[in-house]
Amino acid sequence: MRGAIAVPAVVALVLTTALTLVPPALAAPPSPSPTPPTPPAPSAQDSADEAGSLVARIATARADLDRLTADLGRRQELANRALADDTTARRRADDARKAAEESRRGADAAAATAERARADVDAWITAWFQQADVLGPLSVLSGSSGPDDVAARAHLRDVVTSDQRAALDGAERARIEAANADSRARAARIAADDLAVQAAAARVAADAELARVRTDTDAQQAQLRDLTARRDAAEARLRDLEDADPALAAQRDRAEAFDAAATARDTARDQRVRRAASAGLEARAARAATPRAAAAEDPLADAGISTDGMTDEVRTVLERALSQLGVVYAWGGGDEQGPTQGIRDGGVADQHGDYDKTGFDCSGLMIYAFAALGKDLPHYSGYQAEAGQRVAIEDRKPGDLLFWADDDGQGAVHHVALYLGGDQMVEAPESGKTVRIASVRFDDEIVPTVTRLV
């Protein structure tokens, strides 16, 4: 079979030479490379399924971010507790020092009084011996010119004796008071020294708590960044799917329009409420003899809160808090006068630049709200929970303080808000946000009691 189709050697040589001499332009074109198969376009159902999966992933990432942020907020509030303890300890130590100094001045004054009284007694004793021959019993009778003279001399002796006795009694009282005052001064000095030691310990504890917050936050930053990246990637992919699918795009546009309208509505409401609250406070401060504003200008009514039976004290507290709607959150910010510059925590608050903002944190807003009634609250939500009457949350009223705590509401308190009524509250939520009206979060961490200060 192979011999039947063989080509003679000469013919093969001629063919090979001829092919070699053919110009490239005339050569046969090379075979085209195979075209890769075009993948099938994803079906609408596939896009919808992927979009649903992405939405679920985004929701999970956001929930995880919320939990992580809340955990960081709890750590911040524990640092707030340490700072409040430090502030209280330093104030008590300072008050004790001033009291000790005042007590020592009182003791010195008492000692000076006792010394003067002793000198008076010494003078009386000297005078007594010098005039003993004049005022003695025999001298009263001898040398007298008559009964009247005897009576006069006797009266003089009685007066001198009475004055001497009073001087002796006064000297003894002054000596005892000086001794007591000195004891009080010594005790006050000891108490002041003890409180100074406690203040130093509180300062160390506050520094340590801030350091723990800083360390914990540093350890969680990688997790925070990872969660944020996953959320952002899922949101970017979802947007790509929506852009490619008219139905999904239309659905997204409707959702965004709804969110924008809701945000605009809430923003407009907060602006009206804030203006009305400020106006109400100014009117009361000036004791204006004008009737209460109409319901449309009532900040509580505008927020959907019933004011039936509400006292002026409660209204003042609520309006004072509502007058700060939109003020930025700043950890450590807020006092009796209003928003203050935040402080550093070495973590999440620093990332949001809270130390460079003027605003409120959750407990700072409560300090400002209740300062209108002369209530002096500590700058820690856990201590604010102990500042008044504890009432079951089922019996909550406008003006009550709501709290959230670890361990299903039984552990350390980490957030506080002011109850407005109608299951609405005003709060300074967390770094990156502003003072706002929100629905009460009846979650596992809400404390089952409220604190009533008014």
* Tokens (6 digits) for 71: 């955990």
pLDDT confidence of residue 106: 84
Q: How far apart are CA 158 and CA 142, in angstroms?
A: 17
Mean pLDDT (the chain, rounded): 76
pLDDT confidence of residue 169: 75
∠213-216-217 over CA atoms, to 5°?
A: 80
pLDDT band at 378 (very low <50, low <70, confident <90, very high): very high
Q: How far apart are CA 200 and CA 94, in angstroms?
A: 12
Looking at mean pLDDT, say which of 106-110, 177-181, 202-206, 321-325 comes out highest. Answer: 321-325
Q: How far apart are CA 125 and CA 119, in angstroms?
A: 10
**Closest to 415 (Cα-Cα) out of 423, 427, 425, 407:** 427
- Which residue do the tokens 């929100």 mark? 438
Residues in Cβ contact with 180 at an 8 Å cutoff, skipping those fewer than 6 apart: 110
pLDDT band at 42 (very low <50, low <70, confident <90, very high): low
Q: Measuring CA to CA, how many Å separate 9 from each of 1, 2, 5, 16, 433?
A: 18, 15, 13, 10, 92
Catalytic site residue 352? no
Query: Active site residue: 177, 209, 242, 427, which one?
Result: 427
pLDDT band at 154 (very low <50, low <70, confident <90, very high): low
**Which pairing describes strands 358-359 and 436-439: parallel, antiparallel, or unpaired?**
unpaired
pLDDT band at 383 (very low <50, low <70, confident <90, very high): very high
The DSSP result for 64-89, as a single string, is: HHHHHHHHHHHHHHHHHHHHHHHHHH
Left, alpha or beta for 37 (phi > 0: left; psi -120 to 50: alpha)?
Answer: beta
Helices 44-130 + 246-285 axis angle, to 10: 20
pLDDT confidence of residue 17: 39
Catalytic site residue 362? yes
pLDDT confidence of residue 216: 66
pLDDT confidence of residue 12: 38
Instruction: Considering only residues 268 and 333, tell me which one the structure prediction assigns the higher pLDDT.
Output: 333
Catalytic site residue 155? no
- Candidate from 6-10, 91-95, 219-223, 266-270 with smallest mean pLDDT: 6-10
Query: Active site residue: 362, 379, 430, 445, which one?
Result: 362
The pTM of this model reads 0.58
